[in-house]
Each structure stands twice: as C-alpha cells, then as structure tokens.
C-alpha cells in the first residue's frame, strides 16, 4: 500500500514562529503536493514538486516555502506563522503522468495562536 | 480564473436512490485528467474514479460512474443506490498535461452529500 505520512496530526504554534510540516512517501513518487483545506474553500494548492529540488507555485504560495532535497520527503515551511495560516494542511504524492491519482496523508491541523 | 467549479455546496439524497454531483472545468490543454475524491468526516481523502480527456467511454467503478461531456467541459459524478456511508464531502479535481512540471492537481470547493435513511 502507498503510504504518505505527515509528521504531526495536530500542531499549535505561536505567531511569528518558524514552522516545519514534514511529509514522507514510500512509493518512489515523482510528484508531491501541499494543500491547505478550509471550510467552503476546498483544497487549495500551495506548492507542487515534480522532482527533487524542483518546485512550482500553486494558487496560494504567499507566506510559505517548500523544500525537496530527497525524493521521498517534501517539507512545507511557514517562515513566520500568522493566525490566518491556521488551517488543515494536506500532503499528497503521485507518480508522474496525467493518469495517476494522488495519495494523501492524514493531514496536519495547524493552529497559530 | 477558477478551473474547477462545483456549484452544489450541499446535497441530500434518500438512501438507495441515485445522485449526481456536478463538476465543470476549464482548460485549454487537450490532454487532461479528471478525478473524484471522497472525504468522510474522518478526514482521509479517498480516490474514487478517473476520466482521461482522450477516453472514449465514461469511467465506471462499482456504484460510481462519471458522466463525461467533453464539449460542455463537465465531469459529473453519479452514485447509484446511495448508502448511508456515502455521506461525505466529494471533490472534483483536474490535472492538465501529461506530467512533469505540468502535473499539478487542482481541486474544486467540494460538495457535501448527506444520505437520509
């Protein structure tokens, strides 16, 4: 079974802190994604990576950065957390190619206070 | 511009009846794929069904089928014989191109389906 693991299920951080959300997949997938999910807004793509060290901005990259130094790991970084970044964060991975579905992690509920 | 539109924020259906969840999309790429996911209250994202832009037939997976109308750019999900366990959020998604740097996956805002006993 494909497994996508996010490092934390729940996280509480203070405003201004640097926050790292980690995601690891075990199926040698080329593509990895970070989404944020808010009620009524669906899943919004923050960043997408299609290879090691390669990244593309999604719809809402402001306030976030990403790192992909190894194929299996994709990190989302909040340089200076703000309360409007309180949300559910979902990581996903997939093989390259248009026909393949993405597999999701369990999500990280981040609260910034 | 919104690429995936789901116009039904919430829907109700009677158990054992069929239900259609709407999805329209916008792309100028001739090669694309359309996906439907289910998210129950537990939060996990479950892949349901896929339709490729070049597929000649509508996709089917068990009780799920996709009503693909390419000219109208619509990809509606049909659930037959609804069950109580079908109550969940349903998301339509699209991937443009054939992979590589084009492989990002864009989602709609979702439809919350409630199945009544």
- Predicted confidence at residue A4, as pLDDT, reads 96
Looking at chain B, the whole-number percentage of residues with pLDDT higher than 90 is 79
CB contact under 8 A, B107 and A102: no
- Predicted confidence at residue A42, as pLDDT, reads 92
Task: Kindly state the tokens that stand for A43.
Answer: 């899943």
| Digitized pLDDT (tens) for each residue of chain A, 113 residues in all | 769 999 999 999 999 999 999 999 999 999 999 999 999 899 999 999 999 999 999 999 999 999 999 999 999 999 999 999 999 999 999 988 767 889 999 999 999 99
Give the best residue of B104, B109, B110, B112 to mutate against chain A (max A CB count within 10 A): B104
Rounded to a whole number of angstroms, the distance from the CA of B102 to the nearest CA of chain A is 8
Helix (H, G, I), strand (E, B) or coil at A91: strand
Task: Kindly state the tokens that stand for A31.
Answer: 């593509």
- Predicted confidence at residue A2, as pLDDT, reads 66
Helix (H, G, I), strand (E, B) or coil at A29: coil
- Predicted confidence at residue A96, as pLDDT, reads 82
Task: Kindly state the tokens that stand for B41.
Answer: 């209250």
Rounded to a whole number of angstroms, the distance from the CA of B18 to the nearest CA of chain A is 24
Task: Kindly state the tokens that stand for B47.
Answer: 């892949």
The answer, for A17 touching chain B at a CB cutoff of 8 Å, is no
Contact A27, A2 (CB under 8 A): yes
- Predicted confidence at residue A45, as pLDDT, reads 93
| Digitized pLDDT (tens) for each residue of chain B, 117 residues in all | 569 999 999 999 999 999 999 999 999 888 889 999 999 999 999 999 999 999 989 999 999 999 999 999 999 999 999 999 999 999 999 988 765 556 778 999 999 999 999
Tell which residue, A36, A13, A3, A17, has the closest CA to residue A80: A17
- Predicted confidence at residue A73, as pLDDT, reads 97
Transcribe B88-116 into DSSP letters: EEEEEEEEESSSGGG--EEE---EEEEEE
Tens of pLDDT, residue by residue over B23-39, are 999 998 888 899 999 99
Euclidean distance between the first and the last CA atom of chain B, given in angstroms as a whole number? 39
The answer, for A39 touching chain B at a CB cutoff of 8 Å, is no
The answer, for A99 touching chain B at a CB cutoff of 8 Å, is yes
Tell which residue, B105, B113, B87, B112, has the closest CA to residue B4: B105
């Amino acid at each position: 079974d494909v497994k996508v693991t996010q490092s934390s299920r729940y996280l509480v951080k203070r405003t201004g802190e640097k926050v790292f959300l980690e995601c690891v997949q075990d199926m040698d997938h080329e593509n990895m994604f970070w989404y944020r999910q808010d009620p009524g807004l669906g899943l919004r793509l923050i960043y997408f990576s299609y290879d090691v060290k390669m990244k593309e901005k999604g719809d809402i990259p402001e306030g976030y950065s990403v790192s992909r130094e190894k194929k299996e790991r994709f990190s989302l970084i909040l340089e200076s957390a703000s309360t409007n970044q309180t949300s559910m964060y979902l990581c996903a991975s997939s093989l390259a190619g248009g026909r393949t579905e993405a597999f999701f992690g369990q999500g990280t509920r981040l609260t910034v206070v | 511009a919104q690429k995936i539109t789901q116009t039904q924020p919430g829907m109700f259906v009677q158990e054992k009846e069929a239900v259609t969840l709407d999805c329209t999309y916008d792309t100028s790429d001739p090669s694309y794929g359309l996906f439907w996911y289910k998210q129950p209250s537990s939060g996990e994202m479950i892949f349901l069904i896929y339709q490729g832009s070049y597929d000649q037939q509508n996709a089917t997976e068990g009780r799920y089928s996709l009503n693909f109308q390419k000219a109208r750019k619509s990809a509606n999900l049909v659930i037959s014989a609804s069950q109580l366990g079908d109550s969940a959020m349903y998301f339509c998604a699209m991937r443009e191109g054939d992979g590589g740097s084009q492989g990002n996956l864009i989602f709609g805002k979702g439809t919350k389906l409630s199945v009544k006993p």
